[in-house]
Structures are given as structure tokens and as C-alpha cells.
Structure 1
Amino acid sequence: MSGTVESAGTEAACRRPDRQGGTAPPEAPTGQLRPARGALLDAALRVFTERGYTDAGLAEIAARSGIRVGSLFQHYGGKRGLYLALWEEFREEQERRTAAALASLRGRGVEDPVAVFLAGARAYLEGVWDNRPLVRLLDQDDGPAGFDALRRQWDRAWVRRNARLLKVDERQRTGRVRVIVLTTVIGGAARELGDCADGTEAREIVDEVCGILGHLTARPG
């Protein structure tokens, strides 16, 4: 699960599913694409959540979205494309959310790397709670072929960006391990948030995790 990031564009290996392999359909005007794609993604999330990725059917997704199966293939190329588009949409939203939090902090003149990192971590975890149905789906061991490899690539990129936020030299093993530990704490908290009973419990977890991260990043003395 990707986390505290500064918007850095989309990694080459994680491009939009309808552009992989050079098979994307001709682009239509954005205003025409957005409603259909949004309806398909909403329907796909509901069906994937209820049935799991493996047992989800394209006919049911199309029926729930009110859009023909042929249009589904045109926009996303099939079930795998829908799943990866949901993942990418979540990542992009999280990037926007954390980037806004960092910009707000820096706009107030705060440049301390730890403070900036903690602000990004909080924004990311709050985004996890807001998107918990999708987070629970992505955390299941039931995704399309190759998804785990894509997620590992993104997680490595996430560690690199966190290292830049904290101004840690990744070339040094101790610095790299430190950032990996911090990133892993955020990822583990994200999984717990997906199972929270209510907003009060979720806020308690976010506060607790940010306290732990603050302790782990505190400078000696």
C-alpha cells in the first residue's frame, strides 16, 4: 500500500491500464469519458468487494454501471484494467492529499523534515480511512496476475520518496533501513484502519501511529 508521497508522476511500470501494451483506444473528449469511467469504477468496486476479484463477472459490473460490456472493454480492456484503474485512482488521490498537506505546512514556513513527513503520514492515513472499502479490497490476496509485482515496485518508490522527505541518504544502509521501517509502520496502520469500526477508533489509530512515527524519527538528545 503506497503512502506518504510528494506528487512525482506515475511510475513507468504503473501506467494507466488502458495504455499498457499500446492497445489503448483512441482518446475521446474528457467530458464524455468521465461519467462512463466513473460509473464503471464504482460498479467494479462494489462487485469486487462483494465477490472478490476472481469471482467477479464483467456482465454484472456492466449491468450495475448501466454501461454496455463493449464500452467496458473500450475504456478498460477487461477486469484487470478495472482493478488496476481503481488502484491507480487511489494512489493519485493519496498523492494529491499528501501533497496538499505538505504544501500547506510549508506555506506556513515549516521546513523541518520530520514535521513535513509526519504531516504527510497523517494525511495519507486519513485518506485510507476515507477510502476503506477500496483499501480492504487491495489488501486481499485476490488480485489480477502481476499486481503484486506492480505493488512492490510502487512500494520501493514510496520508500525513496519518504527518504527524500526526511532528507535521508538512501545510499547508506542504515538510512535506508530507517526509512523502510517508518514506511512499514504506515503500511501496517493502513491495514488496521481498513477494519476500524468507526471514525472515533480511526482517529485514535491515526493519532497513535503519528505519535509512534514521531518517536521513531526523534533526534537523539
Structure 2
Amino acid sequence: MPPRKPTPAGRQWSSTEGVRAEFLDAARAVFARRGFTEASVTEVVERAGASVGSLYHHFGSKTDLFLALWRRHHEEQLRIARGGLDRARESGVTDPFDLFVAGARAYLEATWSRRDLVRIFQVGDTPPGFHEIQHRDGREWINRNFKLLGADDDPVHRVLIWLVTSFLGEARREISKARTAREATVDVEAMIETLKRMRPLLTGDLGLGLSYREVDEG
């Protein structure tokens, strides 16, 4: 029998990523239905059509699987928001607050199709230590908003950006509770209108002193 040809590294990497994606898709369905505590590795494996050994090879534990699903979700949300911002820039929008609103709209509009994930991470039970990770990633998001809005780094502006960013997180939680896609769309428009009414706070019209600086996005 002729020797087996080695698998090209790129193909092997693609296969590994494909297996991980299948496990994460299966975990998404199981965690949404059961929550973290009641979810079983066996059910995830059966849904993915794989083996327990393969799951532990790729993730190590149920907690690691949950955290990997969170990481994928978080990174996808950043890409969605950035996509909305980039499209606004391409259409000629330059005002930092308007760009922020464009990213926020894309972020909120994606809620309905991802409402199961929102519920998993914002409503359902989670593994020990998860909220610390979630808060750390939230701080990174706040820092991104600081950069976009060009806010001065002082206590008042830090609180303002934190409030606006927190508002988007809570808005998403409420939108995820909508009963229909139409209701979710109405909720998104209401949240965006509310966000726009925060402009005076962020632009200094109320005397809080926020003045936009030139922002280098690199």
C-alpha cells in the first residue's frame, strides 16, 4: 500500500476551524435551550455529530466551550458595529457622533437574528468568572467608543461614555425580548431616537465640555 500523503497545513487548519465552528453552533442551540448549568456535553456532541473526545480535544471543558462561544459572539458584534460605521463613512458621514449612531444602529439591528445569544450571555446562567470576562470586554468596548468620539479622558467624560455604552447593552436586552421581527424593528428605532437625544450631553451643549478631537483610526 502506498504511503499516505500528508495533509496540507492549510487544509488541516481549515478542517480544525470547521470542527470548532460545528461545536460552537451546536453549543449555541444547547445553551439557549438549557442554560449553562443544565446543558450537557453529550447533547452538544450529539447535535454536532462528533465525539466527546473530539470536543474535549478542541475546548477542554464545557466552560471553555461557553467562553469560546462568547468570544465568537463578541468579535462578531464588534465586526457588525464596525461595518455600520464604515458604511456611514463611505457615504460621507464625518461627524463622530453620527458615526457612533451608525455603528450603534447596526449593532442593535443585529439583535433579532442573534436574540438567542443575547439571552445566553445577558439573561441565562453562566459559568463562574464569566461576568468578570464580560466586564473586561465591556471596558474594551468603552475604550473603542472613547477613541471614536474623541472624548477627553476625565471623570465626567468617562462616566458619559460608560452611560451611553451601557444604554446600548440594556437596549439590546430589551430588543431581544421582542415577540416579532416587526416589534424588534420598532424597538430599534425607539432606542436610536433615544440615543440621538443624548447628543447634547456628549457634544457639550449642556456645559459638560466634551469637544470632539481629530480621531486617527489608523
Output the TM-score relative to the length of structure 1.
0.83
Work out which of the residue numbers 153, 171, 184 in structure 1 matches 2:166: 184
Output the TM-score relative to the length of structure 2.
0.84
Offset at residue 147 of structure 1 (A):
0.6
| 1:41 and 2:24 are equivalent in the alignment | yes
Structure 2, unaligned stretches of length 5 or more? 1-9, 207-218
Q: Which runs of 4+ in 1 moved over 6 A?
A: none
- Higher alpha-carbon deviation: 137-146 or 107-116: 137-146
Secondary structure of 1:43's partner?
Answer: helix
For the residues of structure 1 that align with 2:146 and 2:105, how far apart are their CA atoms? 17
Aligned to 1:64: 47
Contact 2:36–2:124 (Cα < 8 Å) also in 1: no
Amino acid in structure 2 at the alignment position of 1:183: T
| 1:154 and 2:137 are equivalent in the alignment | yes
Aligned to 1:130: 113
Higher CA-based Rg: 2
Change (3 A) 1:82 1:33: same
Secondary structure of 2:178's partner?
Answer: coil
Offset at residue 28 of structure 1 (A):
7.8
For the residues of structure 2 that align with 1:184 and 1:79, how far apart are their CA atoms? 29
For the residues of structure 1 that align with 2:157 and 2:184, how far apart are their CA atoms? 30
Offset at residue 38 of structure 1 (A):
2.0
Say which structure, 1 or 2, has more relative contact order (CA 8 Å, 6+ apart). 1
- Equivalenced residue count is 195
Aligned-residue identity in percent: 37
Q: CA RMSD in A?
A: 1.9
Structure 1, unaligned stretches of length 5 or more? 1-26
Work out which of the residue numbers 208, 216, 219 in structure 1 matches 2:190: 208
Aligned to 1:54: 37
For the residues of structure 2 that align with 1:32 and 1:142, how far apart are their CA atoms? 31
CA deviation string 1:169-220 (max 9, x = no partner)? 1x21111111111111111111111111111111111111111111101342
